[in-house]
Amino acid sequence: MPAMTMIQALNSAMDIMLARDPNVVVLGEDVGYFGGVFRCTDGLQKKHGRHRVFDTPIAEAGILGAAVGMSVYGLRPVAEIQFADYIYPAADQLISEAARLRYRSGGEFTAPLTVRAPCGGGIYGGQTHSQSPEGIFTHVCGLKTVIPSNPYDAKGLLISAIEDDDPVIFFEPKRLYNGPFDGHHDKPTLPWAKHPQGEVPADYYTVPLGKAAIARPGSAATVIAYGAMVHVALAAVEESGIDAEVIDLRTLIPVDIDAIVASVEKTGRCVIVHEATRTSGFGAELSALVQEHCFYHLEAPIERVTGYDTPYPHALEWDYFPGPARVTEALRRVTEAM
Amino acid sequence: MSNVRSLRRTGKPPRPYLHVPEPKARPGEPADFSTLAIPEAGRQARPAVDASARELRPFAEDLIRVMDGEGRAVGPWDPKLDADTLRRGLRVMMLTRAYDDRMYRAQRQGKTSFYMKCTGEEAVASAQAMALNRADMLFPTYRQQGLLIARDWPLVDMMNQVYSNTQDRLKGRQMPVFYSSAEAGFFSISGNLATQYSQAVGWAMAAAIKGDSRIAAAWIGEGATAEGDFHHALTFASVYRAPVILNVVNNQWAISSFQGIAGGEATTFASRAIGFGIPALRVDGNDFLAVYAVTQWAAERARTHVGPTLIELFTYRAAPHSTSDDPSKYRPAEEARQWPLGDPIARLKQHLISLGQWSEERHVQLESELIEEVRAAGRQAESYGTLDKGPHHSAKTMFEDVFKDMPWNLRRQRQESGV
């Protein structure tokens, strides 16, 4: 089985879907001839043609407005927003248009588009190249939200997203593009080629939306994480010696409630980890769900480990980033609580 | 006074001030159209559809007109329609007006929450729908009900939507007049203005990708041209030479804001297109023949892949913005009646009479036939329910169509709601 980085896995997913489905098109800033600033669409234009893979003007609202129109026509556009931080101009087209179209037209018009956007920090991107805005979109009814944590899932989830008949926003933790970064910024990151989840089949396969994965089984506590934080959580579990179960949500909406409930009922303790800011973040929803579904199984208050409620500071990003030490502390608190 | 004149007179420039545009007249004042430049009908050249953008520039400042003061069709833009087509155009406009009148009254009677008439603007949707192919895709805003009527869409279905009754295909989810019909090629109307503009361009790009000869047409009010989506749409349409017609319905008023608030004092709305390299035609929007002709021209440009066209339809919103609006609070009462470009129905009627293809008697007869047609449709629609008295779709349907497959949280919420 070939080893792939997350970039290569995403590229493979789009390549396969462009070949399988003549209605798939790929558009975005710099995605054509150049192949994307992160190289995710490298070679796709040459292979599939300019009319299938093309550059767009720098206008995120225009990209998604056009993508909605294309999907109304019957295409399955895969639109790249160069950084998740740039998605806000397109919010109206995503939130009020793509997400609501099936509902408002009684099912006559739909917007089966996929929006890919690199998210998260750890690359010295400052406050405009580091954001994790998933919580804004999980709040929107009619949108599915996906965040993979490894190349194997990234490819299978992206194929599922493209095939899905509803709009999907697909955030790619850019710090995971080349390896399973675990928050130890002072140590070299293992390349995906040396990680089992870097083994990616060359052919078509899917990873279903709405299904979480158990990244590590355990019994002492449940850590709910997604994206880059899965690897941070795994590092914390390793370093703390606490036998915690780590859930990789993979899809935030619809969230896999069964996986969460099964784990927390088993462990009775729960730590929620995300890189995004805390207040009204997706962790708040997860915390509420755990409380509603598992209250009588809880042995300790639910903990959240998140980015602080500040913009992502450039020089201080490692003070901001919720690394393994903070997750370890939270694991200690929930497991030591009576 | 200009800064330069003030400087000459007093030796010092005036205090800086903010210019906030004001219309020429307000309530209690006589309507003032003194600054409107209305060229004579028939004087405008009809360029080739593949003329260069530079050659086409003057059309963004001109006003294409076909019908003269006596109702005769003059000049190169005369689409030379046969009498049956003209009578059909008249019928569509008259039916639209009769439909509007009935639904406006229905709202006043409490049968629904809201309504919007297109009185005075009927030529826009009627002539444009007729000039396009039935398979072309329409991305309207909320005042183009005439598109559906011109495509012979059943009035009962439109009324079902306005009443949000049991037969409403949109299941009571949308405000009245936010129609949607895939079958009619009429895109779902959004309340977020201008979003449909870039969507229409995207649809047209998709058609081009697929080598499909269908084209898209979008409508926007002059007020909403200030939205970003308008500019994104023009950029994308220009870059990809999308087969699309971008219509700006300049009806002078965006609720209470006159067109100057949208930027209409310094230039025409058609001129916006020039910076994007998109040809623009400015047309007398109350002249059925002129509207038909420019739409045909733009459709040919799109269909032969020469490129997109922007059309500014210069008209007047004779109706209030909606049933929630009272124009007497912000514009002269006489302004609509005195609009120098007249009424589109009266003008096409005059044209048909001048051709010897219509008469006052036939007009009156048709009017009463259409009122009866609308009344019959109304009775049928009301038998399926009205907003005030119901019945409506079951509350259970509220949870459907958010996603193709209902996720667990919606199933649970539906159970909790007890419906």
Interface touch A104/B180, C-beta < 8 Å: yes
Interface touch B236/A66, C-beta < 8 Å: yes
CB A23 within 8 Å of CB A76: yes
Interface touch A65/B192, C-beta < 8 Å: no
Is the CB of residue A285 less than 8 Å away from at least one CB of chain B? no
The secondary structure of B229-265 as a DSSP string is HHHHHHHHHHHTT-SEEEEEEE-SEETTEEGGGGTTT
Residue with tokens 């099936």: A102
Nearest CA in chain B to A289: B409
What is the pLDDT, as a whole number, of residue B8? 72
Is the CB of residue B171 less than 8 Å away from at least one CB of chain A? yes
Query: Is residue B150 one of the residues assigned to a domain?
Result: yes
User: From first to last of its 419 residues, what are the pLDDT tens digits of chain B?
Assistant: 455 666 677 778 889 999 999 999 999 999 999 999 999 999 999 999 999 878 999 999 999 999 999 999 999 999 999 999 999 999 999 999 999 999 999 999 999 999 999 999 999 999 999 999 999 999 999 999 999 999 999 999 999 999 999 999 999 999 999 999 999 999 999 999 999 999 999 999 999 999 999 999 999 999 999 999 999 999 999 999 999 999 999 999 999 999 999 999 999 999 999 999 999 999 999 999 999 999 999 999 999 999 999 999 999 999 999 999 999 999 999 999 999 999 999 999 999 999 999 999 999 999 999 999 999 999 999 999 999 999 999 999 999 999 999 999 999 999 999 99
What is the pLDDT, as a whole number, of residue B3? 59
Residue A160 CB coordination number (10 Å):
23
Contact list in A for residue B210 (CB cut-off 8 A) is 73
CATH classification of the domain holding B189: 3.40.50.970
Query: A179-216 burial, b for 16+ CB within 10 Å, e for fewer?
Result: bbbbbbeeeebeebeebebbebeeeeeebebbebbebb
Contact list in B for residue A90 (CB cut-off 8 A) is none
Common-topology check for domains A6-198 and A213-336: yes
Is the CB of residue A66 less than 8 Å away from at least one CB of chain B? yes
Query: Is residue B4 one of the residues assigned to a domain?
Result: no
Cβ neighbours for B8, distance < 8 A, ≥ 6 positions apart: none
Which B residues in the span 55-114 are in contact with A, Cβ-Cβ below 8 Å?
none
Same structural domain, B113 and B158: yes
- The shortest CB-CB distance from A109 to any of B168, B180, B233 is to B180
Same structural domain, B53 and B201: yes
Q: Tell me which H or E stretch contains A161.
A: helix A151-163
C-alpha A114/C-alpha B67 separation (Å) is: 49
Under 8 Å CB pairs connecting chains A and B tally to 144
Same structural domain, B300 and B414: no
C-alpha A278/C-alpha A132 separation (Å) is: 11
What is the pLDDT, as a whole number, of residue B54? 86
Residue-range definition of the domain harbouring residue B412: 395-419
Residue with tokens 């439909």: B99
Residue A189 amino acid letter: T
Same structural domain, B340 and B413: no
Write the burial class of residue B192 (CB in 10 Å: 0-12 exposed, 13-18 middle, 19+ buried): middle
Cβ neighbours for B308, distance < 8 A, ≥ 6 positions apart: B201, B204, B237, B238, B241, B242, B243, B244, B245, B246, B278, B301, B302
Interface touch B203/A69, C-beta < 8 Å: yes
Residue A2 amino acid letter: P
Among residues A81, A44, A50, A85, which one has the least CA distance to residue A66?
Answer: A81
Q: How many helices (H) and strands (E) does chain B have?
A: 12, 7
Contact list in A for residue B407 (CB cut-off 8 A) is 210, 253-254
Same structural domain, B399 and B347: no
Q: How many helices (H) and strands (E) does chain A have?
A: 12, 12
Over residues A221-261, the pLDDT tens digits come to 999 999 999 999 999 999 999 999 999 999 999 999 999 99
Among residues A182, A171, A178, which one has the least CA distance to residue A151?
Answer: A178
CB A65 within 8 Å of CB B233: yes
Nearest CA in chain A to B398: A103
C-alpha B382/C-alpha B391 separation (Å) is: 10
Interface touch B401/A73, C-beta < 8 Å: no
Interface touch A142/B201, C-beta < 8 Å: no
C-alpha A261/C-alpha A290 separation (Å) is: 7
Query: Is residue B17 one of the residues assigned to a domain?
Result: no
DSSP state of A189: P
What is the pLDDT, as a whole number, of residue A50? 98
Interface touch A75/B206, C-beta < 8 Å: yes
The CATH architecture one would assign to domain A213-336 is 3-Layer(aba) Sandwich (3.40)
Among residues A60, A163, A172, A56, which one has the least CA distance to residue A112?
Answer: A163
Interface touch B232/A65, C-beta < 8 Å: yes
CB B316 within 8 Å of CB B94: no
ipTM attached to this prediction: 0.97
As annotated, the active-site residues of A are 129
Nearest CA in chain A to B211: A51
Spans of chain A, pLDDT less than 50? none
Q: In what order do the strands lie in the sheet with B216-221?
A: B137-139, B216-221, B244-250, B309-314, B280-284
C-alpha B310/C-alpha B197 separation (Å) is: 11
Residue with tokens 């090629």: B185
Is the CB of residue A213 less than 8 Å away from at least one CB of chain B? no
Choose from B136, B190, B199 for mutation: most chain A CBs within 10 A.
B199
Same structural domain, B293 and B411: no
Among residues A64, A67, A54, A61, which one has the least CA distance to residue A27?
Answer: A54
CB B266 within 8 Å of CB B212: no
CB B312 within 8 Å of CB B268: yes
What is the Rg, in whole angstroms, of the alpha carbon atoms belonging to chain B? 23
Is the CB of residue B187 less than 8 Å away from at least one CB of chain A? yes
C-alpha B218/C-alpha B190 separation (Å) is: 13
Cβ neighbours for B362, distance < 8 A, ≥ 6 positions apart: none
Same structural domain, B237 and B376: yes
Same structural domain, B343 and B418: no
Interface touch B232/A25, C-beta < 8 Å: no
Where do the domains of chain A lie?
Answer: 6-198, 213-336
Q: How far is B118 from chain A (nearest CA, A)?
A: 22
C-alpha A38/C-alpha A83 separation (Å) is: 10
C-alpha B248/C-alpha B298 separation (Å) is: 13
| Three-class DSSP category at A304 | strand
Among residues B145, B143, B123, which one has the least CA distance to residue B193?
Answer: B143
Is the CB of residue B295 less than 8 Å away from at least one CB of chain A? no
Among residues A282, A196, A208, which one has the least CA distance to residue A234?
Answer: A196
Is the CB of residue B271 less than 8 Å away from at least one CB of chain A? no
Same structural domain, B415 and B359: no
Nearest CA in chain A to B183: A108
Name the domain count of chain B.
2
Query: Is residue B20 one of the residues assigned to a domain?
Result: no
What is the pLDDT, as a whole number, of residue B10? 76
CB A313 within 8 Å of CB A321: no
Is the CB of residue B233 less than 8 Å away from at least one CB of chain A? yes
Nearest CA in chain B to A258: B408
Residue B71 CB coordination number (10 Å):
16
Contact list in A for residue B181 (CB cut-off 8 A) is 108
User: ∠B285-B99-B131 over CA atoms, to 5°?
Assistant: 40
Same structural domain, B272 and B145: yes
Residue A303 amino acid letter: E
- The shortest CB-CB distance from B236 to any of A62, A89, A144 is to A62
Q: How far is B202 from chain A (nearest CA, A)?
A: 4
Interface touch B180/A97, C-beta < 8 Å: no
Sign of CA dihedral B140, B141, B147, B149: positive
DSSP state of A199: B
What is the pLDDT, as a whole number, of residue B1? 45
Same structural domain, B301 and B415: no
Contact list in B for residue A74 (CB cut-off 8 A) is 206
Tell me how far CA of residue A244 lies from CA of A30, A179, A214, A299, in angstroms. 42, 23, 11, 14
Interface touch B205/A66, C-beta < 8 Å: yes
Contact list in A for residue B190 (CB cut-off 8 A) is 96-97, 104
Interface touch A106/B170, C-beta < 8 Å: yes
What CATH code would you report for A6-198? 3.40.50.970
Residue A323 CB coordination number (10 Å):
20
Same structural domain, B419 and B378: no
